[in-house]
Amino acid sequence: MSRLDSFIRRLEAQRACLDRATELVRDLDGIVLELGLGNGRTYDHLRELFQGRDAPWRDIYVCERQVAAHPDCVPPADRLLLGDMFKTLPAAGFLIDRVALAHFDAGTGDDAANRSLAAGLRPLILPLLRGGGVLATQQEMTCPELTALPLPGGVADGRYHLYRRV
């Protein structure tokens, strides 16, 4: 499989998991948290899922160190947690127990760095997720507080991860 094949599968897995996660939180109050904006593609997808026509509206908060997204994909200033997530997440007391869906994709090509970042962020994300809330993540975040959920059809084990907050 070429890197192009592999990249396409990763994006398809990401989309399928976000779509599935949306169904999973349908009956759960709470906001959406995008951990890292990047170019804004997944944020745009979340906007369609949670703020699109016919979609029941949810607030989407976005963490980003420095905004470099497509101009169409820049969140409103009052929904942006600007800065290092290791500082902004612990300071975001108003998000504690309020997140119904969080999404994380470290998004660099460095697997070891991605894993390390995911492990570091996990304890900062957990308190924000409400009971029953869902975490969709490209990087594994196994821990007792998170129950792994089955992946959508066509998504290979380990390619993406869905967890439910205990």
Q: Give min distance, CB of 135 to its own copies, in A.
A: 18
Minimum gap (Å) between residue 131 Cβ and its own copies: 28
Q: How far is C-alpha 54 from the geometric centre of its chain's CA atoms?
A: 22
**Min separation Cβ 10 and its own copies, Å:** 10
Residue 45 touches its own copies, criterion: CB under 8 A? yes
State the CB neighbour count (10 A cutoff) for residue 80.
Answer: 17
Answer yes or no whether residue 42 interacts with its own copies by CB under 8 A.
yes
**Count of positions on this chain that bind its own copies (CB under 8 A):** 23
- Provide the edge-to-edge strand list for the sheet that holds 80-82: 80-82, 60-64, 31-35, 99-104, 129-137, 161-165, 146-148
Whether the Cβ atoms of residue 115 and residue 140 lie closer than 8 Å to each other:
yes
**Contact set with its own copies (CB under 8 A):** 2-5, 7-8, 11-12, 14-15, 18, 39-42, 44-45, 47-48, 70, 72-73, 109
